[in-house]
A and B are shown apart, each in its own frame.
Chain A
Amino acid sequence: MQTLRIICPNGHLGFAPLRTESFQLGVAAAPDYIAADSGSDDVGPVPLGSDTSTSPLAWQRHDLEQMLLASRKLGVPMIIGSAGDTGSNSRVDLYVGIVKELAAQHGLKKFRLGWFYSEVDKGYLRRRMQAGETVQGLDGYADLTDAELDATDRIVAMAGVHPYVELLRRGADVIIGGRSSDAALFAAAALHHGFPADTAYYLGKVLECASFCAEPYGGKETVLGIVSHDDVKVTAMLPAQRCTVASVAGHAMYERSNPYEELFAGGRLDMTDCRYEQVDERTTRVTGSRFVPSERIRVKLEGAGKVGERFVGMCGIRDPYTIAHVDEVIGWARAQVRARFGDSGYELHYKVYGRDGVMGDLEPLRDRPGHELFILVQGVAPTREMAEELTLTGLRQMFYARLPDVKGTAGSVSFPLDEVLPASAAYRWTLNHTLAVDDGLELFPLHTADVGG
């Protein structure tokens, strides 16, 4: 095999539906694989912690249906990573169930479905720590402590290529993966067919976000990657988009602090010596990428822990005197909350839109608020009852703030609603760590079953 062709229709399957025009053009380009990742830690810790998807079921099903039907029609494998935003076990089961339903609904011929799980048991991690293993913190996180592990509700490990390569070796036609490095599912296909890691991992890197490597900007459009033994070519499938030297080179730095390398379970992709050339109007060729294996495999762990139940409230301010003294309004309300609930055991957050609601401490124009403000109040507490009363106190007491020179004495804020609203429970990222393993399959139990026919 001289080259391998993979199409990717969506950089985060389910988050918004793939665009069918460019996908069908991609299918017509005779790919050897159809693959997409479905996860991201961008969605925050709530989905992982509460074991939910942030993507609606209808959009997940839409993309899985499009991809499965194309995969079965062409007779080429389909690979999905990081099922259901988080890659937790329930999300893998959800996607496996959808694939089985679609197979029955469309009367698909028999195919082999492979899947693997990514959740890491807290007891297993605790035993590794007790045996002296350090679970190393990433990006400013301290190494994992027992207390942080205790505060964690759910952990997923980020798979590299290993479980995908093994499922392909076992003859899987369709793979549903738990949490994965998005590039790994593409790289695994190339590695399975004997292409070198140097180009295989770059292929994954450039395809992982679909049309984010193309211009003009437009998400959810299909791109085609072609890997050989010494280069990767990437082509935009939508006629209006092009993969240019600038768009492809630019993609290497997207969402990464270092544009020259990316870490995987088992090594790092070094893009320092990458060379980019335009080979036709919509295609860029990349050479010079290198994969450097690590001495020991370190797998990234993501974990989320519940902080408490959450309610939100909102109000506005128009009086310029009150706007100038908004911190005192908030201070008054906080004091009433302290009088009722004490100093600790809850969180109360105020976002002042029109001043620094978006950027917070990073806002350079904090001293130039607009002529009206919108304030979002969030209260987090151990129970829903307390969270509701906490948030309502923190909101409603703003109405009664005592500013010495205010002209309007009938209420300091405006209410669009006079109640507070239940929100998702509050979670936080407790694990952003790595763990050493002896085998890239260690944390990822594999399963296969024949479906359809």
Chain B
Amino acid sequence: MSTHTLSELAKTIRSKNAGVNKITFDIIFRDRENYERVKRSRVLTRESVAALYRIPPERISDFVEYDPAYAIKFTIYRLTPSGSAGDGDIFGAQQYAPLLDLVVPA
């Protein structure tokens, strides 16, 4: 098995508002095998995503490995609520891109 990027292994990688003051990120896999592989790799943890987005870990409100949907999910607090002047992403829909190229070891 060779290394893969997260975008090669996941079916869905998305971000979206969870209420007006948080953005939630979903990484969903087609099958248990890839889901377990990414879980085992520890590429996605509370600490790793905080480092990727360069935010303090306390800005991450939730980090969940959600077995029923083969999904890893985390949620961050916004600095200002959605739709305030200066918010560039009212729906929080375009915040997931840095996850796409994360390298998952073989």
Interface residues of A (CB under 8 A from B): 41-46, 138-141, 245-246, 249-250, 252-260, 274, 276, 302, 307, 310, 347, 349, 351, 357-365, 378, 380, 426-429, 432
Contacting residues, chain B, for A250 (C-beta < 8 A): 12, 26, 28, 69, 71
Contacting residues, chain A, for B105 (C-beta < 8 A): none
Q: 5 closest Cβ contacts across the A-B interface?
A: A44-B83, A349-B86, A257-B75, A249-B69, A426-B85
The answer, among B20, B69, B94, for a CB contact under 8 Å with A253, is: B69
0/1 per residue, B51-88, Cβ < 8 Å to A? 01111000001101010111101011101111111111
The bracket for how many chain B residues form the interface is 35 or more
A179 → chain B closest CB, angstroms: 13
Tell me if B89 is interfacial: C-beta within 8 Å of chain A: yes
What separation, in Å, do the CA atoms of A378 and B85 have in the docked complex?
A: 7
Known: A44-B90, A256-B18, A347-B85. 17 other contacts (CB 8 A): A41-B82, A44-B83, A45-B84, A138-B19, A139-B20, A139-B61, A246-B70, A252-B68, A255-B16, A257-B62, A258-B64, A364-B54, A378-B85, A380-B85, A428-B81, A428-B85, A429-B20
B28:A429 contact, CB within 8 angstroms: no
A255:B17 contact, CB within 8 angstroms: yes
Contacting residues, chain A, for B61 (C-beta < 8 A): 139-140, 257
What separation, in Å, do the CA atoms of A302 and B81 have in the docked complex?
A: 12
Known contacts A253-B71, A259-B66, A139 near B84 by CB under 8 Å = no
B70:A362 contact, CB within 8 angstroms: no
Q: Which of B52, B68, B88 has the most CB of A within 10 A?
A: B68
Tell me if B48 is interfacial: C-beta within 8 Å of chain A: no
What separation, in Å, do the CA atoms of A427 and B84 have in the docked complex?
A: 6
Contacting residues, chain B, for A363 (C-beta < 8 A): 98
Contacting residues, chain A, for B69 (C-beta < 8 A): 246, 249-250, 252-253, 259
In the complex, which residue of chain A has the Cβ closest to the Cβ of B26? A253
In the complex, which residue of chain B has the Cβ closest to the Cβ of A257? B75
B81:A432 contact, CB within 8 angstroms: yes
The answer, among A259, A362, A364, for a CB contact under 8 Å with B64, is: A259
Contacting residues, chain A, for B37 (C-beta < 8 A): none
Known contacts A258-B62, A362-B53, A432 near B94 by CB under 8 Å = no
Sampled A-B contacts (24; CB under 8 Å): A41-B17, A41-B19, A42-B91, A44-B90, A140-B21, A141-B21, A245-B68, A250-B26, A252-B69, A256-B24, A257-B19, A259-B64, A260-B64, A274-B68, A349-B85, A351-B86, A357-B88, A362-B53, A362-B55, A364-B98, A380-B85, A427-B83, A429-B84, A432-B81
Known contacts A249-B69, A258-B62, A140 near B77 by CB under 8 Å = yes
B86:A378 contact, CB within 8 angstroms: yes
Contacting residues, chain B, for A349 (C-beta < 8 A): 85-86
What separation, in Å, do the CA atoms of A426 and B77 have in the docked complex?
A: 21
Contacting residues, chain A, for B88 (C-beta < 8 A): 351, 357-360
B68 → chain A closest CB, angstroms: 4
What separation, in Å, do the CA atoms of A363 and B98 have in the docked complex?
A: 8
In the complex, which residue of chain B has the Cβ closest to the Cβ of A256? B18
A12 → chain B closest CB, angstroms: 11
What separation, in Å, do the CA atoms of A427 and B90 have in the docked complex?
A: 12
The answer, among A139, A302, A360, for a CB contact under 8 Å with B22, is: A139
A281 → chain B closest CB, angstroms: 17
What separation, in Å, do the CA atoms of A132 and B64 have in the docked complex?
A: 37
A41:B89 contact, CB within 8 angstroms: no
Contacting residues, chain A, for B4 (C-beta < 8 A): none
In the complex, which residue of chain A has the Cβ closest to the Cβ of B91? A42
Tell me if B7 is interfacial: C-beta within 8 Å of chain A: no
Contacting residues, chain A, for B22 (C-beta < 8 A): 139-140, 257
Q: Which of A141, A258, A260 has the most CB of B within 10 A?
A: A258
Tell me if B40 is interfacial: C-beta within 8 Å of chain A: no
B89:A359 contact, CB within 8 angstroms: yes
A329 → chain B closest CB, angstroms: 18
Known contacts A246-B69, A250-B28, A429-B81, A359 near B95 by CB under 8 Å = yes
B39 → chain A closest CB, angstroms: 15
A361:B75 contact, CB within 8 angstroms: no
B75:A254 contact, CB within 8 angstroms: no
What separation, in Å, do the CA atoms of A275 and B26 have in the docked complex?
A: 20
What separation, in Å, do the CA atoms of A365 and B26 have in the docked complex?
A: 21
Contacting residues, chain A, for B79 (C-beta < 8 A): 361
Q: Which of B28, B53, B69, B79 has the most CB of A within 10 A?
A: B69
Contacting residues, chain B, for A246 (C-beta < 8 A): 11, 28, 30, 69-70
B66 → chain A closest CB, angstroms: 5
In the complex, which residue of chain A has the Cβ closest to the Cβ of B60? A257
B55 → chain A closest CB, angstroms: 7
Contacting residues, chain B, for A362 (C-beta < 8 A): 53-55, 76, 95, 98
What separation, in Å, do the CA atoms of A310 and B81 have in the docked complex?
A: 18
What separation, in Å, do the CA atoms of A432 and B83 have in the docked complex?
A: 14
B36 → chain A closest CB, angstroms: 15
Contacting residues, chain B, for A351 (C-beta < 8 A): 86, 88
What separation, in Å, do the CA atoms of A46 and B68 have in the docked complex?
A: 37
What separation, in Å, do the CA atoms of A44 and B30 have in the docked complex?
A: 33
Contacting residues, chain B, for A43 (C-beta < 8 A): 83, 90
